[in-house]
Each structure stands twice: as structure tokens, then as C-alpha cells.
Chains A and B, each alone.
Chain A
Amino acid sequence: NAGVTQTPKFQVLKTGQSMTLQCAQDMNHEYMSWYRQDPGMGLRLIHYSVGAGITDQGEVPNGYNVSRSTTEDFPLRLLSAAPSQTSVYFCASSIRPSNQPQHFGDGTRLSIL
């Protein structure tokens, strides 16, 4: 049981490039979410999904797209990377968010030059 797996662990991009951060969970969790964490701040919710085919925006969705074609995978796409998107990105999942805590991956450290 691997839990929540994020790839890659580290990535450096140039401004304007696009990329996809991968997130996969093997716990059959319906709920998945993406957060970013900047130095000196807590985690901010980017997008979340309550099940396959359903996604919604969080606190800071601009510049990011998501899709949820399967229960297991929830990729995060940066459309045109900007230096302001330099951050650590965490993916999380839970059975249901109403009364169950989320399990987090170990993060992707992304630098935009």
C-alpha cells in the first residue's frame, strides 16, 4: 500500500513552459485535492475533486487545471509557468472530507526561473 504518490519530487521550469504534476493514490479514496505551500505560509487549496469526473476550484485556482478521469489519479497542470508559481505542491486524498482526514504525499518542489 503506497498511499499517495507524487511525481516528480523536484522540477525546474522556465517561465512560459507547461507541465503536469502527477498524483496517484491506491486507497480507493473518492476525495482528492491539490495544495501549494510557500515559505512562511500554510497550505493553500488549488483544486479539489469529490470523485471521478468532478472537480472544483479552491482558494488559488488561477494558472492551474485539473481533471479526474479515474478514482486513482488527479494530475495538476500548469498551463504557462510563472515565477510566482514557485512553490511546494502537495496532493492529498481521503475517503470523504466531511469527517475523515486527508492523507498527503511528500510533495513536488517546483522552481520557475
Chain B
Amino acid sequence: GESVGLHLPTLSVQEGDNSIINCAYSNSASDYFIWYKQESGKGPQFIIDIRSNMDKRQGQRVTVLLNKTVKHLSLQIAATQPGDSAVYFCAEKVDSSASKIIFGSGTRLSIRP
């Protein structure tokens, strides 16, 4: 099976509960942030994004919150389902004049039935 993510921090959530995954980003000049979901053996899949001129953005069952004061990003998943089991990564565009998209270390989300 896929060996990626063996040592990642794990969040265990009861099915139906809400999940909150946190991410601390590195650069105060970062102006664009993205959350990705990665299932075993696959490439990262886009979930939701947010620009630095916003504090909150909502999608279908997901919400991203951005706190620029403490350089913190969170992903909230409502009514967590078994299909949400995956590794979640935040990514940031680290410089408004450059094009580098840098990933955080990731969190594994595990769903309890």
C-alpha cells in the first residue's frame, strides 16, 4: 500500500461529527492558500482555497478560516463521512511576486464508525 504519510499527525473523528484540521504557515507575505486532500496512491486533490484579503470562505461541507495575525489556517469539514478519510495538506503561495507553492506537512484524518 501507499507508504506516504506514515508519520503524519492523525486526527480521529466520529462519523457525523465536524472535523477541524489546522495549519501554521510560514511566510507573512503569502497571499494565496489552498487545501488539498490526498487519498492513498493518488495525487493531491483540490478542496478549497482562500486569498489573503479574506478571512473565511465556504464550500460544500467545507470552510476555510484564515488568521493572518498568527499565520494560521484551518479547514473545517461538516458532518464527516467515511469518504473524508485521507491526508490533508495546506499549501501557500509564499511571495506575491513569485510563483512558489509550498506545502505544509499534512494531517491524516481517520473516521471512526
Contact = CB atoms under 8 A, between A and B. Distances in A.
Contacts of A31: 99
Given A39-B5, A39-B6, A44 B103 contact: yes
Contact of B6 (A35, A40, A92): A40
A39 B43 contact: no
A75 interface: no
Contacts of A101: 34, 36, 46, 49
- Give the dominant DSSP class at B's interface: loop
A58 B4 CA distance: 21
B103 A35 contact: yes
Contact of B44 (A48, A56, A104): A104
Q: Which of A35, A42, A88 has the most CB of B within 10 A?
A: A42
Interface in B62-98: 89, 91, 93, 96
* Chain B interface bracket (under 10, 10 to 19, 20 to 34, 35 or more): 20 to 34
B43 A42 contact: no
B43 A45 contact: no
Contact of A99 (B3, B41, B51, B100): B51
A45 to B, nearest CB: 6
Given A33-B101, A99-B51, A104 B5 contact: no
Nearest to A97: B99
Contacts of B93: 97-98
A54 B95 CA distance: 18
A37 B99 CA distance: 20
A42 B51 contact: no
14 contacts: A31-B99, A37-B4, A40-B7, A40-B8, A43-B44, A48-B101, A59-B102, A88-B4, A97-B99, A101-B36, A102-B34, A102-B46, A104-B44, A107-B43
